[in-house]
Structure 1
Amino acid sequence: MKKPALKYCGIQSLQDLQLAADSHADYLGFIFAESKRRVFPQDVKKWLSQGCVEKQVAGVFVNESIETILRIADDLNLNVIQLHGDEEPADANALRMLTDCKIWKALHHHENTTQEIARFKDDVDGFVIDSSVNGARGGTGVAFSWGCVPEYQQAAIGKRCFIAGGVNPDTITDLMKYHPAGIDLASGIEKNGQKDQNLMRLLEERMNRYVSISE
Structure 2
Amino acid sequence: MNSIGIKYCGNKSLDDLKITSESNANYLGFIFANGKRKISPSDLEAWLKDVNVASKTLVGVFVNGTIEEIANVLSFVPLSIIQCHGSESVQEVVELKVAFNKKVWKVIHHKEDAINLMKEFDGIADGYVIDSKVGKQWGGSGIAFDWSFIPQYVNEARRQQVPCFIAGGINKDNIRQLLSYDIDGIDVSSGIELENVKNKEIITIIEEQVKQK
TM-score w.r.t. length of structure 1: 0.94
Q: Could you list the per-position Cα deviations for residues 101-124 of structure 1 after superposition, in whole angstroms to 9, with x for gaps in the alignment?
A: 210011111011110110112211
Long gaps (5+) in structure 2? none
Aligned partner of 1:207: which letter? V
Moved runs in structure 1, 4+ residues, more than 2 A?
Answer: none
User: Superposed, which structure 2 residues align to 1:194-213 within 5 Å?
Assistant: 194-210=197-213
State the number of aligned residues.
209
2:151: which partner in 1? Answer: 150
Aligned partner of 2:13: which letter? S
- Contact 1:163–1:180 (Cα < 8 Å) also in 2: yes
Q: Could you list the per-position Cα deviations for residues 11-30 of structure 1 after superposition, in whole angstroms to 9, with x for gaps in the alignment?
A: 01011001000000000000
Aligned partner of 2:179: which letter? M
Query: In the aligned structure 1, how far is the partner of 2:129 from the partner of 2:33?
Result: 16
SS at match of 2:137: coil
2:51: which partner in 1? Answer: 51
1:141: which partner in 2? Answer: 142
1:17 equivalent to 2:17? Answer yes
Cα offset for 1:145?
Answer: 1.4
Cα offset for 1:98?
Answer: 2.1
2:42: which partner in 1? Answer: 42
Query: In the aligned structure 1, how far is the partner of 2:71 from the partner of 2:154?
Result: 29
Aligned partner of 1:92: which letter? V
Two-structure CA RMSD over aligned residues (Å): 1.1
Query: In the aligned structure 2, how far is the partner of 1:143 from the partner of 1:121?
Result: 25
- Contact 1:163–1:182 (Cα < 8 Å) also in 2: yes
Query: In the aligned structure 1, how far is the partner of 2:31 from the partner of 2:25?
Result: 17
**More displaced stretch, 96-105 vs 198-207:** 96-105
Query: In the aligned structure 1, how far is the partner of 2:209 from the partner of 2:165?
Result: 18
Residue identity over aligned pairs, in percent, reads: 40
Cα offset for 1:136?
Answer: 1.2
1:186: which partner in 2? Answer: 189
1:172: which partner in 2? Answer: 175
Query: In the aligned structure 2, how far is the partner of 1:8 from the partner of 1:43?
Result: 18
- Contact 2:21–2:51 (Cα < 8 Å) also in 1: no
Query: In the aligned structure 1, how far is the partner of 2:184 from the partner of 2:139?
Result: 19
- Contact 1:147–1:178 (Cα < 8 Å) also in 2: no
TM-score w.r.t. length of structure 2: 0.95
Cα offset for 1:189?
Answer: 0.2
Query: In the aligned structure 2, how far is the partner of 1:51 from the partner of 1:185?
Result: 20
Query: In the aligned structure 1, how far is the partner of 2:3 from the partner of 2:121?
Result: 25
Query: In the aligned structure 1, how far is the partner of 2:150 from the partner of 2:121?
Result: 18
Query: In the aligned structure 2, how far is the partner of 1:172 from the partner of 1:197?
Result: 16
Query: In the aligned structure 1, how far is the partner of 2:3 from the partner of 2:172?
Result: 16
SS at match of 1:121: coil
- Contact 1:12–1:37 (Cα < 8 Å) also in 2: yes
1:33: which partner in 2? Answer: 33
- Contact 2:193–2:202 (Cα < 8 Å) also in 1: yes
Query: In the aligned structure 2, how far is the partner of 1:95 from the partner of 1:73?
Result: 12
